[in-house]
Amino acid sequence: MKKIAMTTPIVEMDGDEMTRILWKWIKDILIKPYVDLKTEYYDLGLEHRNETDDKVTVESAEAAKKYGVAVKCATITPNAARMTEYNLKEMWKSPNGTIRAILDGTVFRTPILVKGITPYIPTWTAPITIARHAYGDVYKNVEMQVKGGGKAELVYTDKDGNETRETIMEFKGDGVIQGLHNIDKSIEGFARSCFNYALDMKQDLWFATKDTISKKYDHRFKDIFAEIFENEYKDKFEKAGIEYFYTLIDDAVARVIRSNGGYIWACKNYDGDVMSDMVSTAFGSLAMMTSVLVSPDGNYEYEAAHGTVQRHYYKHLKGEETSTNSVATIFAWSGAFRKRGELDGLSELVKYADALESATIETIESGIMTGDLYILSKLENKKKVNSKEFLEAIAERLDAKLA
Ligand code: NAP
Ligand code: MG
C-alpha cells in the first residue's frame, strides 16, 4: 500500500507514563503503516522538561503557533511526590497551563459515543461539547476574611489617578469578601474561538451566564458575544445553517438535560469546570473524552482529556498486562490529521482520519474493548482485551477500510 503523504508537519508533544507507552504503540500500529508521518517532535516527558528547565514546553507551544496544528500526549504535572520520584530541579508548572497561556485559547471537550454504553441521560444521543473559558473570574480572585465589622469598598484607580468607589458591604461583624476580574480581550478571544469552532463542527452554539443578577460583569460577556456575533459571524452562521443561542445559565442547564445533544455549550470559567465534569460523567468515561485547545487566531492543539494513567503504568513496569483505553489519544491524532488535511488540502489525510475513527468505534461496537469500557458496556458479546490487542484489532479494521 502506498503511504498517505503529508506536506506540513504536525507538532508532536510526547508525554509521560502509560500514555507515553500508548503513544508509541499508536504510532507504530495505527499511523506509520498508513501515513508518511511528518512531525516536529518535542519530548514533554517530565525527565526532558527537567533537563531543559521546561524550555521544551515553551518551544513546543511556539511551534504550535508556527504550524497551527499540534497533538499532545498526557503529561505529569509535578507535585511533591514527583519531585522525589523524578529528582526534579524545580516543581515545573503544568505543561497544559504553559501551552494555554502562550496559545491563549479555549478548551473544547467532546465525548465519543459508542453503542453499548448508554449515557446516564438516555436521550443524549449526540455529543455535547463543552467550551470552557480558561481565564479569570474566581480562578484569579483576591479574597479576604474580615473580622469585627468595618466597611468593604470596591475601588478602581484609572491611569490619571481618578478613583471610582462602590461600597460592597458595611460589615457589622465577621465576614468574607472576594474580588474578581476578567479582560475584554480575553472574553473576545473566547467568543471568537467558540464561533469558529461552531462553524468548524457545523453545530449550534449555546452560551449562558447569570446576567440578570450580575448586571455588569456577566452582562459584559453577553454583550461581547452578541456584538462579535452580529458583526463577524451572523452571515456565516446563516450560510452554515446553524444558530447562536443565548440564555440564562439556569435555563441552559434545564434545556441541556432535556436535549438530545449535538451542540456546543460555551461556559464561563467556573461553569465550564463544573459542567464539564457533569457532562463527561453522564456520558460514561473520561477515557472517551477528547479535548482540543483552539486559539482565537486559529491554532489547534489536540489531546486526550484524561491523565497519564499512572496506576496502569506501574503495572506495565512490573511486566503485568494492562488494559488501558487509548481511544481519546487515538482521536487526538485523528483530529490533528483531519485539521492538517483540511488546511493543506489533502483529502487522503482527511479520509484516513475518518477511517481511523470509524475503525476505532466499530471495534468497540463489535465487542472488543478495554477493561474500563467492559465494565460499562451492555453488549452481550463483549470481550476484554489488553492495551496492545485493542490497537491491533483496530488496525485489522483500518486495513480493510483503506485497502
Ligand atoms: P488519570 O491519569 O486520568 O487516571 C485516573 C484513573 O482513571 C486511572 O487510574 C484509571 O482508573 C482511570 N483512567 C483514566 N484514563 C484511563 C484510560 N485511558 N484507560 C483506562 N482507565 C483510565 O489521572 P491521575 O491518575 O489522577 O493522574 C495521573 C497523572 O496525570 C498526574 O501526574 C497528573 O498530573 C496527570 N494529568 C495530566 C493531564 C493532561 O496532561 N492533560 C490531565 C490530568 C492529569 P483505574 O486505575 O481504576 O483503572
Ligand atoms: Mg475540575
Query: Which is nearest to 152 in space by CA: 131, 175, 130?
Result: 175
Nearest-atom index, ligand 1, CA of 312:
46
Residue range 282-287: mean pLDDT, rounded: 84
150 Cα: distance to centroid of ligand 2 (angstroms): 35
Q: Whose CA is nearest to atom 11 of ligand 1?
A: 309
What the block records as the C-alpha cell of 115 is: 453503542
pLDDT digits (tens, 9 = 90+) for 250-261: 999 999 999 999
Q: Which of 42, 99, 285, 308 to mutate to test the pocket of ligand 1 (most atoms within 8 A of CB)?
A: 308
Query: What residues does ligand 1 touch, defined as CB less than 6 Å away?
Result: 74-77, 96, 286-287, 303, 306-311, 324-325, 372
The pLDDT assigned to 276 comes to: 86
Residue 70 has pLDDT above 90, yes or no: yes
The pLDDT assigned to 1 comes to: 75
Q: Whose CA is nearest to atom 31 of ligand 1?
A: 76
Nearest-atom index, ligand 1, CA of 306:
3
pLDDT digits (tens, 9 = 90+) for 195-234: 999 999 999 999 999 999 999 999 999 999 999 999 999 9
Which pLDDT band, with edges at 50, 70 and 90, does 238 fall under?
very high
The pLDDT assigned to 175 comes to: 97
Phi, psi at 378, each rounded to 5°: -95, 5
The share of the chain scoring above pLDDT 70, in percent, equals: 100
Which pLDDT band, with edges at 50, 70 and 90, does 101 fall under?
confident
Superfamily for 118-140+181-283? Isopropylmalate Dehydrogenase (3.40.718.10)
- Averaged pLDDT of the chain: 95
Query: Which is nearest to 259 in space by CA: 284, 234, 282, 226?
Result: 282
Which pLDDT band, with edges at 50, 70 and 90, does 283 fall under?
confident
CA distances from 7 to 37, 38, 125, 145, 287 (A): 10, 8, 37, 57, 31
Ligand number nearest CA of 72 is 1
Q: Cβ distance 11 to 41 under 8 Å?
A: no
Q: Cβ distance 240 to 200 under 8 Å?
A: no
Cα–Cα dist 76/61, whole Å:
17
Ligand number nearest CA of 287 is 1
Q: Which of 73, 306, 331 to mutate to test the pocket of ligand 1 (most atoms within 8 A of CB)?
A: 306
Residue 126 has pLDDT above 90, yes or no: yes
The pLDDT assigned to 286 comes to: 82
Cα–Cα dist 341/353, whole Å:
9
Which pLDDT band, with edges at 50, 70 and 90, does 285 fall under?
confident
Domain 1-111+289-403 shares a fold with domain 118-140+181-283: yes
The share of the chain scoring above pLDDT 90, in percent, equals: 90
Q: Cβ distance 127 to 159 under 8 Å?
A: no
Q: What is the CATH number of domain 1-111+289-403?
A: 3.40.718.10
User: β-pairing, 150-157 with 163-171?
Assistant: antiparallel
What the block records as the C-alpha cell of 187 is: 472574553
207 Cα: distance to centroid of ligand 1 (angstroms): 30
Query: Any idea which of 186-190, 201-205, 284-288, 382-386 has the lowest mean pLDDT?
Result: 284-288
101 Cα: distance to centroid of ligand 1 (angstroms): 23
Cα–Cα dist 130/282, whole Å:
13
Ligand number nearest CA of 289 is 1
Residue 140 has pLDDT above 90, yes or no: no
276 Cα: distance to centroid of ligand 2 (angstroms): 8
Residue 322 has pLDDT above 90, yes or no: yes
pLDDT digits (tens, 9 = 90+) for 161-180: 999 999 999 999 999 999 99
Which pLDDT band, with edges at 50, 70 and 90, does 273 fall under?
confident
The pLDDT assigned to 304 comes to: 93
Domain boundaries, the chain: 1-111+289-403, 118-140+181-283, 142-179
pLDDT digits (tens, 9 = 90+) for 297-321: 889 999 998 999 999 999 999 999 9
